Structure 1
């Protein structure tokens, strides 16, 4: 169940990143909030690249949870711990963001992701 909820949360973030990459005025909620409207091109590219990272996260977590079998078990096991570390770092970085909107929205979202991936990492 944790892996499926993680997938839904990451999918929602993916839609957000698609919007950011497409030029939606969501800059106050991402990338430090330094560009409150439309992101500059380099950050829009970063949002697009994040989609690939999110897809890899989902594949690893779903493999670790034995929902799909695309990633070998040892790789999925290590990968979930790497993703957990990434999420913990994300909680810290979003928590110290200069953007109040990013702190308010993204910090709890990434915290939920961290808890969910920790559950998957511990239980498999």
Structure 2
């Protein structure tokens, strides 16, 4: 069960990567990100911020997969806790966002992902 939850967390991160790529490409998704300041396509500077999130999401996914014992990773456990902290931070920011779209979509998704990451880290505590 732990491996499946870790894979679902990684899938959520992958969805986040595709979302960031869509934002960078100029799709009018501004209401769902960065506090909804830009209701349509994001301006160039905001797109650069979206691009910076891509490697972070990939590292978060790998950290939780590693915590679940995915072969070949073996990352330090603190990386999984850092991924959980970032996910909780995203949930908190989405929760207080002035954008109703961001609160309605990103908050529950980040909250579920944080629960999955927390489950993986707690269940695997003391292993390896």
TM over 0.5: yes
Aligned residues: 121
The question of whether the paired residues in 2 share the 8 Å contact of 1:59 and 1:71 is answered with no
- In the alignment, which residue of structure 1 is the partner of 2:88? 88
2:107 matches 1:107: yes
Runs of 4+ that moved beyond 6 A: none
CA distance in 2, matches of 1:58, 1:88: 14
- Deviations along 1:33-80, one digit per CA (max 9) or x if unpaired, are 0001010111111111111111111111111111132243xx2x1111
Report 1:72-83 matches (<5 A): 72=75, 75=76, 77-83=77-83
- In the alignment, which residue of structure 1 is the partner of 2:33? 30
For residue 78 of structure 2, give the secondary structure of its aligned residue in structure 1: helix
Structure 2, unpaired ranges of 5+? none
Higher helix share: 1
CA distance in 2, matches of 1:96, 1:51: 22
Query: How far is the alpha carbon of 1:88 from its aligned partner?
Result: 1.5
Structure 1, unpaired ranges of 5+? none
In structure 2, the CA distance between the partners of 1:120 and 1:36, relative to structure 1 (3 Å rule), is same
The question of whether the paired residues in 2 share the 8 Å contact of 1:30 and 1:102 is answered with yes
RMSD: 1.1
CA distance in 2, matches of 1:15, 1:111: 19
Q: TM-score, normalised by structure 2?
A: 0.89
